[in-house]
Amino acid sequence: ILKDKVALVTGSTSGIGLAIARSLAAEGARVMLHGFGDRDANLALKEELAALSQDCAGFSDADLSNPEAIDELVAQCTNELGSPSVLVNNAGVQHVAPVDDFPPEKWDMIMAVNLSAVFHTTRLCLPSMRQRGWGRIINTASAHSLVASPNKSAYVAAKHGVAGFTKSVALEAAKDGVTVNCISPGYVWTPLVENQIPDTMKARGLTREQVMNDVLLAAQPTKRFVEPVEVASLALYLCRPEAGSITGANLSMDGGWTAQ
Ligand code: NAD
């Protein structure tokens, strides 16, 4: 369904973004892989995506906290692959601390990567989508775009911001064949989550099982982690022609978390 289309997926070197990049490439999209990590491993991922899609994929490690680097990311994607018809704003960072101890530089970083970067990529990619009369903007928000947890003030504020931004741009683009939505997962099994487990075990004197079930999955009624491929399949669905009337939506995939 995405043959001859270009997809820019931010934060796609790992976790949810990588699953989305793979599923878009498998449908024929030329994918711009993006994110940090080991350079050789990322170039190998780029080759894997290219093999899925007419030997064509790109890679960038642009730092999304820097608006100039975002300009370069979109320019590089346009030069190497073409202007994106699918933009997935997925990169995100987290920091956990009480608000009165929250380091201001961490606040600024979370706002820049999780919220402002979504504005910058959108403003840069929307004009060519409009010209083409077709586009899909998919933002990875979070259950934390709808409800809060303590000690995550910056993340919750940024994700609520993404949900609001999504609605506003959806209205602006509604007549142009461009849909704008967010997907809001609960806990997804990714490196971001897995890496929290040893520290939480130590800090609270818990076993691995206890951290997973009593801490991470405490609010998730299904008591299982969402898999990255489940999020990817929803993102792919939003790219289908029959999803053309879904716009401005915040689609939960959280095992019932926000139904409580
Ligand atoms: P991850 O840590 O596996 O991947 C994050 C990606 O973002 C990586 O590719 C990383 O290199 C990139 N990135 C981080 N900072 C960057 C920066 N400054 N510039 C460029 N790239 C940067 O995380 P994930 O769990 O796959 O999360 C992906 C998205 O899903 C995030 O927006 C996150 O908030 C959201 N989310 C995750 C969960 C979860 O439980 N894992 C739940 C809800 C929402």
Percentage of the chain beyond pLDDT 70 is 100
The active-site residue, picked from 59, 155, 187, 257, is: 155
Mean pLDDT of 176-181: 98
Q: How far is the CA of 129 from the centre of ligand 1 (A)?
A: 25
Angle at 86 between CA 237 and CA 33, to 5 degrees: 105
**DSSP secondary structure of 73-111:** HHHHHHHHT-S-SEEEE---------GGG--HHHHHHHI
Question: What's the confidence (pLDDT) of residue 196?
Answer: 81
Output the pLDDT for position 195: 84
Q: What is the pLDDT of residue 67?
A: 98
Q: Are residues 97 and 221 in the same domain?
A: no
175 and 198 co-located in one domain: no
3-state helix, strand, coil in the chain (%, to 5): 55, 15, 30
Average pLDDT over residues 42-66: 96
**What local confidence, expressed as pLDDT, does residue 224 receive?**
96
- In this structure, which residue's CA is closest to atom 41 in ligand 1? 188
Instruction: Answer yes or no: is pLDDT of 252 > 90.
Output: yes
Query: Which pair of structure tokens corresponds to residue 206?
Result: 């818990």
Tell me what the mean pLDDT of segment 118-140 comes to. Answer: 98
Residue type for position 78: T
Assess whether the C-beta atom of 14 lies below 6 angstroms from ligand 1. Answer: yes
User: Is 139 touching ligand 1 by the criterion CB < 6 Å?
Assistant: no
Q: Both 131 and 35 in a single domain?
A: yes
Closest alpha carbon to 18 in 91, 80, 81, 86: 91
pLDDT (0 to 100) of residue 21:
98
224-234 average pLDDT score:
98
Number of domains within the chain? 2
Is 1 inside any structural domain? no
- In the reported structure, the alpha carbon of residue 131 is separated from the centroid of ligand 1 by a whole-number distance in angstroms of 30
**To test the ligand 1 pocket, which listed residue (8, 14, 33) has its Cβ within 8 A of the most ligand atoms?**
14
For ligand 1, is residue 232 a contact (CB within 6 Å)? no
Best residue for ligand 1 mutational test, from 8, 12, 16, 197 (most atoms within 8 Å of Cβ): 16
Whether 125 is in the pocket of ligand 1, judged by its Cβ within 6 Å, is no
Identity of the residue numbered 206: L
Q: Do 146 and 184 form a contact (C-beta atoms < 8 A)?
A: yes
- Identify whether 155 is a catalytic site residue: yes
Q: Atom 12, ligand 1: which residue's CA is nearest?
A: 11
Mean pLDDT of the chain: 97
Domain harbouring 233, CATH code: 3.40.50.720
> Across residues 168-182, what is the average pLDDT?
98
Tell me the whole-structure pTM to 2 decimals. 0.98
Q: How far apart are CA 255 and CA 146, in angstroms?
A: 14
Q: Could you tell me the distance, in angstroms and rounded to a whole number, from the CA of residue 90 to the centre of ligand 1? A: 6
Tokens 């009337």, located at residue: 245
Q: Is residue 116 part of a domain?
A: yes
Is residue 196, in this structure, part of any structural domain at all? yes
Q: Are residues 102 and 211 in the same domain?
A: no
255 ligand 1 Cβ < 6 A: no
- Residue 14 maps to a domain: yes
Q: Determine the Cα–Cα distance for residues 108 and 30; give it in Å rounded to an integer.
A: 32
Are residues 208 and 106 part of one domain? no
Is the same domain home to 207 and 171? no
Q: Which atom of ligand 1 is nearest to the CA of 192?
A: 2
Other CB atoms within a 10 A radius of the CB of residue 30 amount to: 27
| Domain region containing 212 | 189-225
Residue 71 CA to residue 162 CA, distance in Å, equals: 20
239 residue type, one letter = C
What's the whole-number mean pLDDT along residues 210-223? Answer: 93
Residue 129: what pLDDT? 98
Q: Are residues 167 and 218 in the same domain?
A: no
CA distances from 137 to 54, 89, 174, 189, 231 (A): 23, 8, 12, 24, 15
Q: Examine the domain organization and report whether 241 and 219 are in the same domain.
A: no
pLDDT of residue 119: 99
Q: What is the mean pLDDT of residues 142-158?
A: 96
130 and 151 belong to one structural domain: yes
Q: Ligand 1 pocket, 41 CB below 6 A?
A: no
Given a cut of 90, whether residue 200 has pLDDT beyond it is no
CB 60 near ligand 1, within 6 Å: no
pLDDT per residue as tens digits for the range 63-95: 999 999 999 999 999 999 999 999 999 999 999
The answer to whether residue 128 is domain-embedded is yes
